[in-house]
């Protein structure tokens, strides 16, 4: 199913002819501009046709997916089409988390073992740099380099 009718295609083709003709006529002969205008007419007509076809396809498929023209199945086809799920009650865990969050904001100390799960993370401990040179010797080296 397409939206609109052939007049939309014809109008788009005429617009394409006029635009292409005047752009081509500014730098070409009349016959060359007419040929290019006809090519523009065909291209714009085809683009309008494709656009109408695509929009019609989108609108008819989206109407079907929204539940229009849908008859629910009756009988054995209904069985298994709905799933009822009951989850465990996690209310106690949620209450514990909320209590720990309130204690942390109130300033009470909570041991880190209770608040964080062990991740195996250990901070990097790089070796410290040790100076082996005498400061006077380093100053003489700098003076020697700046003299050059």
Higher model confidence: residue 132 or residue 134?
A: 134
Rounded to an integer, the average pLDDT of 1-28 is 89
Quick one: tokens of 10? 């014809």
Listed in sequence order, the residues at least 6 apart from 59 whose beta carbon sits closer than 8 Å to its beta carbon are 3
Res. 30 pLDDT band, cuts 50 70 90:
very high
Quick one: tokens of 51? 């656009």
- Digit-coded pLDDT (tens) for 31-82: 999 999 999 999 999 999 999 988 888 888 765 555 555 555 566 666 667 7
Instruction: Please report how the helices 6-25 and 30-65 are oriented relative to each other, as an axis angle in degrees rounded to 10.
Output: 150
Task: Say what the pLDDT of residue 64 is.
Answer: 53
- Distance, in Å, from the CA atom of 93 to the CA atom of 142, rounded to the nearest integer, reads 65
Cα within 13 Å of Cα(39), Cβ side: 9
Task: Say what the pLDDT of residue 39 is.
Answer: 96
Task: Say what the pLDDT of residue 33 is.
Answer: 95
Rounded to an integer, the average pLDDT of 118-127 is 78
- Distance, in Å, from the CA atom of 99 to the CA atom of 110, rounded to the nearest integer, reads 11
Quick one: tokens of 22? 């005047």
């Amino acid at each position: 199913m397409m939206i609109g009718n052939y007049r939309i295609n014809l109008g788009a083709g005429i617009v394409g002819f006029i635009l292409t003709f005047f752009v081509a006529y500014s730098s070409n002969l009349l016959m060359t501009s007419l040929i290019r205008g006809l090519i523009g007419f065909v291209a714009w007509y085809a683009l309008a046709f494709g656009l109408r076809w695509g929009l019609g396809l989108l609108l008819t498929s989206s109407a079907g997916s929204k539940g229009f023209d849908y008859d629910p199945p009756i009988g054995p086809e209904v069985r298994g089409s709905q799933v009822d799920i009951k989850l465990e009650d996690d209310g106690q865990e949620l209450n514990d988390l909320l209590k720990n969050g309130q204690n942390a904001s109130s300033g009470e100390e909570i041991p880190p073992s209770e608040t964080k799960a062990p991740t195996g993370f250990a901070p990097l401990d790089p070796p410290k740099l040790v100076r082996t040179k005498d400061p006077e010797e380093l100053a003489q080296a700098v003076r020697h380099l700046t003299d050059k």
